[in-house]
Structure 1
Amino acid sequence: MSRPDIPADIRRAVLVEAGHRCAIPRCNQTELDVHHIVPWADCQKHEYSNLIALCPICHRRAHLGDIDRKSLFIYKQNLAKEFGRHDNGSFQAEAVEIKRRLKEVNVNSPGFQFQFDFPDFPNPVERIVSRNIEAWGLELLAQFQDGQSHWDDNLEELPEHFHNWPARLSGDYEITRRDERLISIRYTVDTYYPGAAHGGRATRVLNYTLSPFRPVTLEYLLGDLIRLPALADLVRQHLSDTGQYTDWWLNSGTEPTEDHFSLFIILQHGVLFIFPEYRIASYAEGEQSIFIDFRELNEICNAEALEDISTLDEDYI
């Protein structure tokens, strides 16, 4: 099978965990690869717990066996402890109450207005979550800066009406769950680009277990994407039971693809799956969602993942 790219959230988490430096103690190189401790050929998965940031030299040494797998796993386990010990607590974003804000205004043509808020968690492990979200916000800001650089370099090509319509982005969040096991955050990102007929709104979710720290992806939740059709059947049945959706919308919007089910937040007693506009209902009906109890997910999801994210007793789930 062809090897897919490492998902951006997982890659970012691996790099932030290592402080954007090689994870081998005292190496400190900043040119980095993301290495599979158990080789891709054997695992065929991009799991956070199996990925570590290495410089090209250490990466090559790992492939040659000079740095063995057991050592790599030990270095991986120590990263969260080291992060909390050495993080100086300073962010690039200014503090706004108990959250932080990335903000930039560009007054050129068409210019842009950028504001992205994220939580400032004090606990050492939770700070890795804050760092991951800040890194995502900086990626979004870089996209706006790159777009403006393009217009700055091609000012003569800029349509007249663009001068009065700056690009805009606003990122707001809601912490839907935060406890000793997990942090789940739901983002609303509103964007407007010069020349567009209207703005766009997108929901983004961020789920992290804290002990051990890892991003909760759909693949981790299920254990294996081969279980995706069973999840799709369960979600489709719940949606059908509401009587709100036509068969055509449900059949097309709940096909067992990773894209259809990767948008979810983890609550105290189950998982809320979110569907953007046009996925299972018309644009006018807006975003849709359906809640699935942990007990119903017990037969479908990875038992280890459910244990990591559930607040319920084993007898309950």
Structure 2
Amino acid sequence: MAASNWTTPHPSTFILLGIPGLEEAHVWISIPFCSVYILSVVGNCVLLAVIKSEPSLHEPMYLFLAMLTFADLVICTTTVPKTLCIFWFRDQAIHIDACLTQVFLVHAVGTMESGFMLAMAFDRYVAICNPLQHSDILTHQAIAKMGLGVVLRGMIVLGPYPFLLKQLPYCTTNVISHTYCEFMALVKLACVDTAGLRVYGLLVAFLTAGLDFILIILSYVLILRAIFSLPSKEARRKSLSTCSSHVCVMIAFYTPAFFSFFSHRFGHVAPHVHILIANVYLLFPPMMNPIIYGVRTPGIRQRLLHILGLKRA
């Protein structure tokens, strides 16, 4: 399409191919994509409404969960509508400014999600390892500052991405073999040495999501040590149950995220497999988070049943 008769190194539009090699199945693939997206939007909106309407849920864990939920809504809405336009209408063109906005939001909000999960791990650490000072340490003011810090970190660290990418010359093609604009996908199109950008991308990933993951693991080592030092088996069970939802959410987020990151930079994965995993990373956690917390958290579950009229106040 727009890649033919290529004349300019600074295109005004890019072409998103969708999932190369599976073009004939795009309409069928769109069915689970659309279904998961609808479930994600509905589930996260309901979760936000439940947390907002129930005063007993205005605690640190649920406030951080609300921040994570809002980030989930942003990140899946940033990419899925355009992906569905590609699948349904072959609307593959995307203006460079819209493309760079996608790059920024996908990476910045993904970094924010990781930061919110670190904040939730810190909340669990304080609640279990220092319960008497939990309310003194995690005041509403402290929670607001932590949330703002996570947002500012994502915006500042990932802010250079669009500007760096816009300066690159794309001399060969403007065709992106992906369903959405992604940092490394654009870097690979450039016809100059991008070693510095690749190193920068690795550093950003390590200093944000990578460092968050290490700190979360460290916090859970300390949490487990505190739990297993409790004298009562029932107390250990209750303490573990308060962490189980957060652990499930972390697994749902970090597993596809790390697979997508490492396969894009170091692996030799088939392109269609990588693209599917990259979309799972954006779609699966937003769908699963409301389900996990709705099923495993009594306060949210009871409030939801009350809203639906299935349980009396």
Q: TM-score when scaled to structure 2? A: 0.24
- Give the helix-richer structure, 1 or 2: 2
Structure number with higher strand proportion: 1
* Larger RCO (CA within 8 A; separation ≥ 6): 2
